[in-house]
């Protein structure tokens, strides 16, 4: 097309993934997850010495599925795949960096808040003086008579290590999931609206965990109840991580938030009283107490308009597409081209929630 001064300008059409590519991605991600952990099902479950390595490999199956779909179905041109997945470019840089900082620092606060909710609801009995439950856990893992610093010092050392672990080991492990769920699936589903994309991707993310949840991971429940609990937690977390993705047009804030959450998820163990038996379904940040805190944060984000304005990730609903659209990653508040139907400087309609 031609701009007002006669110069040639091209506007990239947003990518729209077909249902076939989306379904293929979901089947591949879940199928590969089951395949990776099959040795645990054929062996001694989570007691196998290779359980943790296999579960780490499982975390990369969503990324593998996304790359396979991109290579086979080719729904995104090669030169635009990094942008579509939210890997690059990091623009606007200030917003991306700010969201990364939020992703690193806020999840531990949410975990602490969920612990407080569990205490207030009577689901968690705590010992805030001697930290007897945590002391008992440490004593079980070391030889008797081994000298240890005070329990409070051990807790402080663990707390100080959370940001480092979140930004390194845990972020590397979380990258595989985030590249698939928030990098590929959220933009792919975004054509049907923000909330369908966030909620459906959260449900699928939760069900994807079924191979290890049914072995007793996280909740100690080897039935459908454990899978439903995990799905509930993933829906709440998926909305929060998805918000980071939508506001920044980048997966990196969600990667670091996921790493930070994983690094801090066991913080409730610092406080529980020895002899008490907290129910993971109620006290874990992926359990009911975490749902309450996460839902409260989501309500605040909605009331403050945080889901209203987003950079474009992929094509919107087919019936709402204007004739000319901004490129992937562009801020919808940017001025529309003259041919887009509005006066120069008039912002086009942004993505609809």
Q: Are 246 and 302 in contact (CB under 8 A)?
A: no
Average pLDDT over the chain reads 87
Indicate the SS3 state at residue 49. coil
Residue 314's closest CA among 28, 80, 63?
Answer: 80
Model confidence over 159-168: pLDDT tens digits? 999 999 999 9
Q: What does the pLDDT read at residue 322?
A: 44
Q: What pLDDT digit, counting tens, does each position of 309-351 carry? A: 776 665 444 444 444 444 444 444 444 444 333 333 333 333 3
Question: Which two tokens mark 47?
Answer: 């007691």
pLDDT of residue 12: 59
Alpha carbons 341 and 131: distance in angstroms, whole number: 65
CA distance 334 to 336: 6
Which pLDDT band holds residue 15 (cuts at 50, 70, 90)?
Answer: confident
| Coil, strand or helix at 2 | strand
Work out the pLDDT band at 142, boundaries 50, 70, 90: confident
pLDDT-derived band at 16, boundaries 50, 70, 90: confident
Measured between alpha carbons, how far is 50 from 44 in angstroms, rounded to an integer?
10
Mention every residue, 6+ apart, whose C-beta is less than 8 A from residue 74: none
8 A C-beta contact, residue 295 and residue 327? no
Rounded (10°) angle between helices 51-58 and 19-42: 180
Q: What is the mean pLDDT of residues 101-116?
A: 97
Residue corresponding to tokens 């990667």: 255
Query: What span, in angstroms and rounded, lies between the C-alpha atoms of 209 and 34?
Result: 9
- How many CB atoms within 10 Å of residue 209? 23
Contact 92, 248 (CB under 8 A): no
Say what the pLDDT of residue 169 is.
Answer: 97
């Amino acid at each position: 097309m031609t701009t007002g001064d006669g110069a040639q300008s091209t506007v990239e059409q947003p990518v729209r993934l077909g249902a076939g590519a989306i379904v293929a991605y979901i089947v591949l991600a879940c199928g590969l997850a089951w395949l990776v952990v099959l040795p645990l099902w054929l062996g001694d479950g989570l007691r196998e010495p290779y359980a943790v390595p296999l579960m780490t490999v499982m975390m990369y199956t969503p990324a593998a599925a996304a790359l396979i779909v991109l290579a086979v179905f080719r729904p995104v041109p090669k030169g635009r795949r990094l942008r579509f997945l939210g890997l690059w470019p990091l623009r606007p840089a200030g917003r991306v960096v700010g969201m990364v900082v939020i992703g690193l620092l806020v999840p531990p606060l949410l975990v602490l808040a969920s612990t407080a909710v569990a205490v207030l609801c009577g689901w968690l009995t705590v010992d805030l003086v001697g930290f007897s439950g945590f002391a008992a856990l440490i004593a079980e893992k070391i030889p008797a008579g081994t000298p240890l610093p005070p329990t409070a010092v051990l807790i402080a050392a663990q707390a100080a290590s959370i940001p480092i672990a979140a930004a390194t080991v845990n972020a590397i492990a979380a990258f595989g999931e985030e590249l698939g769920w928030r990098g590929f699936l959220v933009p792919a589903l975004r054509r049907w609206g923000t909330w369908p994309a966030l909620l459906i991707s959260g449900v699928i993310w939760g069900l994807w965990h079924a191979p290890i949840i049914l072995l007793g991971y996280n909740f100690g429940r080897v039935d459908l109840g454990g899978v439903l609990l995990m799905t509930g937690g993933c829906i709440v977390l998926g909305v929060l991580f998805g918000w980071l993705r939508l506001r920044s047009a980048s997966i990196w804030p969600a990667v670091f938030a996921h790493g930070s959450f994983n690094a801090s998820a066991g913080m409730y163990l610092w406080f529980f009283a020895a002899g008490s038996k907290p129910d993971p379904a109620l006290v874990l940040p992926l359990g009911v107490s975490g749902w309450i805190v996460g839902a409260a944060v989501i309500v605040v984000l909605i009331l403050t308009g945080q889901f209203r304005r987003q950079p474009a990730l992929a094509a919107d609903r087919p019936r709402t597409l204007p004739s000319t659209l901004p490129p992937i990653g562009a801020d919808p508040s940017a001025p529309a081209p003259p041919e887009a139907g509005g006066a120069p400087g008039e912002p086009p309609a942004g993505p609809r929630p």
